[in-house]
Amino acid sequence: MAEEVSDHQAREAKEQPQNAQQPQPTSSGESSIRSAHEDAAPEFKPNRRFYLAFLALAVLTLMVALDGTSLSVALPIVAEALRGSALEAFWSGTSFLLASTVFQPSFAQLSHVFGRIQMIMFAITFFFVGVMMAALSQNFTLLLAGRTLQGIGGGGIIALTEIMVTDLVPLRYRGQWAGIIGGMWAIGSVSGPVIGGAFAETSWRWIFWLNLPFIGVSCVMVPLFIRLNSTPSSLVQKLKRVDWIGSFLFVASTTSFLIPITWGGVMYDWTSWRTLVPLILGLAGIAAFIFYELYIPSEPLIPRSLFSNRTLNLGWLFATLHGIILWCMLYYQPLYFEAVKGYKPIIAGVSLFPATFTVAPLSIATGFAITKSGHYRWSIWSGWAVATLGLGVLIVWEVDSNIPTWLFTELVSGIGLGILFPSLLYQIQAAAPPKDVAFAAAMFSFFRALGQAIGVAIGGTIFQNEMRRNLLATARFAPQASELAKDAAALVQIIRDASREDGLVLKTAYTDSLRTIYIVLTVLAGVCLGLSGLIQKYDINIGLETEQGLMVGKRQAGDEEKVGV
């Protein structure tokens, strides 16, 4: 009987392909047949070439994560060496993040048209050229251009790595492998400032030269081991499929939006025309992009189906807020150790390890647990619950907090954020139409990067307002309150140079200002915890559906090697 029903369902799927493309949420009223098969995982037998292909993706992820965070701590030394201004130093640190964010959807569509391998090699080439320009730069103009090219290539690598995981691994098993990629990202993001600080004390150019071994290994491993299927078509046909106008509108408008978000309140006031004009133009451009994508292109840059249900839309919100929370922690917690505890940048980076190095193992462990259980919503609920608790306990930090206090309180937030890495991926990819899962993976990466880009800006605005208010309450620093509150990083050296009495006043104001940031992050995580109750359950026991899966090799006996399903 079960076979007859399955055959009937298969015929219906062929007769109604439109309905088959959109996954349906499960409910308690489903048939007993579906319940019986719900925990039956699709067959997945990775072979040696799969492991080597995945190793290549992990190497690329680690490289981009290291490069994205290693320069920030060395910027004062680089600015002095190249005789650059504060504005040039600011853009050298920011250009990578902006460029890597805005180009990710474009790389996703281009990979769908021209092929994943072609585009990831194109992204690696961009990254390599940027590395050489930055490493050999004798002025900030060349350094800025190099960092921008690195950002474009890095953004392509990030998006395509997420996409290629969907090409290689069925959804049921995807969490454990995506957890490894997320773990590489976490390790690189945390190790970057430590490595950058170490090289800054010897030769800052090695921050860029360090990328060359990664690039060399990747250029060999990617084409050698990642051979994906593709649909042959002429170059003219491929060029016609690309949404060129949508890509231009998206890149231009998001860039115009993110630039003032990045410098608002730091370089220019939020009320300055230099902040408001590009911000308004960016928002207008985003509105024009949405209108264009809804009604005009046959193959839009971002498929409309990715916003077709509640679970997907909540997923984009969660990914953005996850990026905001994670990046605020990575940026502001080391500043607490530098400004309040007086640690050097390297020691400050090491002090962050309880929060950050728990992310990687928890990400991988959660992926394995989801694969084992066949369910994912529990991990989203528990992840946001632990993250809310972990961010909440950071509020207790004081100027004189001892090592056990900040060590154990950091652990909790790291555990929660680590659980969420694979969990949010499942939420989005399970709810997305199978034909658009690759785009969903890229958009997950984009929204997380968007959160990272605006996270520091949000934290900066909160810090400035709170620091100014705290300093206005002191007789000694009230006249300088607005100027001192502008930049949390610049305050580190001012606090170090201050007398003991003045330093204590500044440290107290600094700690109180950071506490407000943690309160806001706790509220954001709590909102996500509440909204997570609205996500629907989708079956993750589905086969691998992709047009660009790993090519099937031949054994000596002539049998096909099973790589996927």
**CB count in 10 Å sphere of residue 481:** 17
Question: Could you state, in order of their start, the residue ranges of all structural domains in the chain?
Answer: 43-230, 243-298, 308-540
Q: Taking Cα atoms as reference points, which of 32, 35, 20 lies closest to residue 539?
A: 35
> DSSP 3-state assignment of 231?
coil
> What span, in angstroms and rounded, lies between the C-alpha atoms of 178 and 434?
18
> Does domain 43-230 match CATH 1.10.3720.10?
no
pLDDT by residue for the chain (565 residues), tens only, comes to 434 334 444 433 443 334 334 565 654 433 333 333 445 556 677 778 788 888 888 888 888 888 877 877 677 778 777 877 766 777 777 788 888 889 999 998 888 888 888 889 999 999 999 999 988 988 888 988 999 999 999 999 988 888 888 888 888 888 778 778 877 877 787 777 778 777 877 788 888 898 898 898 888 888 887 766 666 667 777 788 888 998 999 999 999 998 888 777 667 777 888 888 999 999 999 999 999 988 888 888 888 888 988 999 999 999 999 989 988 887 788 888 888 888 877 777 778 778 777 877 888 888 888 888 888 899 999 999 999 999 999 998 888 888 888 888 888 888 998 899 888 988 998 898 888 888 888 899 899 888 988 887 788 888 888 888 888 888 788 888 777 877 777 777 788 888 888 888 888 888 898 899 999 999 999 999 999 999 998 888 776 666 655 555 443 333 334 444 3
Tally of CA atoms within 13 A in the half-sphere of 291 that contains its CB: 6
| Main-chain phi, psi angles of 199, to 5 degrees | -70, -30
Tell me if domain 43-230 and domain 308-540 are identical in fold: yes
| CB burial of residue 50 (10 Å; 0-12, 13-18, 19+) | buried
DSSP string, 416-454: HHHHHHHHHHHHHHHHS-GGGHHHHHHHHHHHHHHHHHH
CATH number of 308-540: 1.20.1250.20
With contact defined as beta carbons under 8 Å apart, do 212 and 131 qualify? yes
| CB burial of residue 213 (10 Å; 0-12, 13-18, 19+) | exposed
Q: Taking Cα atoms as reference points, which of 364, 462, 470, 484 lies closest to residue 418?
A: 364
At 35 the pLDDT is 38
At 547 the pLDDT is 62
| Main-chain phi, psi angles of 446, to 5 degrees | -65, -50
> DSSP 3-state assignment of 268?
strand
CA torsion, ordered 266, 270, 275, 279, to nearest 10 deg: 120
Q: Which amino acid is at 142?
A: L
> What span, in angstroms and rounded, lies between the C-alpha atoms of 164 and 111?
10
Whole-model pTM: value is 0.81
**Strand partners for 538:** 25
> DSSP 3-state assignment of 538?
strand
Tokens 């690696």 -> residue = 124
With contact defined as beta carbons under 8 Å apart, do 178 and 422 qualify? yes
Q: Taking Cα atoms as reference points, which of 173, 293, 250, 284 lies closest to residue 446?
A: 250
User: What Cα–Cα distance (Å) separates residue 312 from each residue in 250, 430, 541, 550?
Assistant: 20, 9, 18, 27
With contact defined as beta carbons under 8 Å apart, do 184 and 62 qualify? yes
